Amino acid sequence: MESLELFMKTANSGRAEFTQVVTVPAREGQSVRSKTSSGIFEFSRPNRFKFIYRKPFEQSIVADGQTLWLYDVDLNQVTARKQSQVLGSTPAALIASAPDLHALQADFTLTAAPDKDGLQWVAATPKAKEGQLQVVRVGFRPGEASGGLAALEILDSFGQRSLLSFSKVEVNPALPKDAFQFKPPQGADVIRQ
């Protein structure tokens, strides 16, 4: 828990590369499937972050403080949703949206989890039971001055597991003023929900 608290206190913004592996459990007639993607993650507390997926498909998720934008390059489609309606008990709230540990505890029950793979883990169980998340675990490299964000593991109610591994983590980098502004590309279909 100390690593999460340290991260929340010291990392007002950040940048990292990420690799995400999504594992879908076996179902009748199907074996376990997994999909790997990668990209860049940036955040500025509170309520601003972006995931820029580069491989295997280009996609952007940008939260500008008011709107959550999802842009699928292949479909040339943008989905816009009010950020306040979609972020509460999400994994993004754990590492990027909430301004402090107290704010996190409004939406999550936080508990120390056993160390694993050389990381210190914190389990975050959403207090809202109607969502699709069962538990989110955040892994930190022990002994790093900023808390050492290393991984985010998400288990949903369908048994799907997502593991985001962070590398080249920069804490409090100088981010451009417009880093979290999103303007739909010319000709893109925009769906507002």
Where do the domains of the chain lie, and which CATH numbers do they carry? 2-176 (2.50.20.10)
What is the C-alpha separation between 94 and 70, in angstroms, rounded?
19
Q: What is the pLDDT of residue 147?
A: 72
CA-derived radius of gyration, the chain:
17
Q: How far does Cα 68 stand from its chain's mean position? A: 13
For residue 33 the two structure tokens come to 């499937």
What is the C-alpha separation between 39 and 135, in angstroms, rounded?
23
Q: What is the pLDDT of residue 171?
A: 92
Q: What is the pLDDT of residue 30?
A: 81
Q: Is the dihedral of CA 95, 99, 101, 107 positive or negative?
A: negative
Phi-psi region of 24 (alpha: psi -120 to 50; beta: other; left: phi over 0): beta
How would you write the pLDDT of the chain (193 residues) with one tens digit per residue?
A: 788 888 888 889 999 999 999 998 888 778 888 999 999 999 998 889 999 999 999 999 999 999 999 999 999 999 999 988 877 667 776 788 777 788 888 888 999 999 999 999 999 998 887 777 889 999 999 887 667 899 999 998 888 999 999 999 999 999 998 999 999 999 999 999 8
Q: What is the pLDDT of residue 185?
A: 95
Count of all residues that appear for the chain in the document: 193
Q: What is the pLDDT of residue 29?
A: 77
Whether the pTM exceeds 0.85: the reply is yes
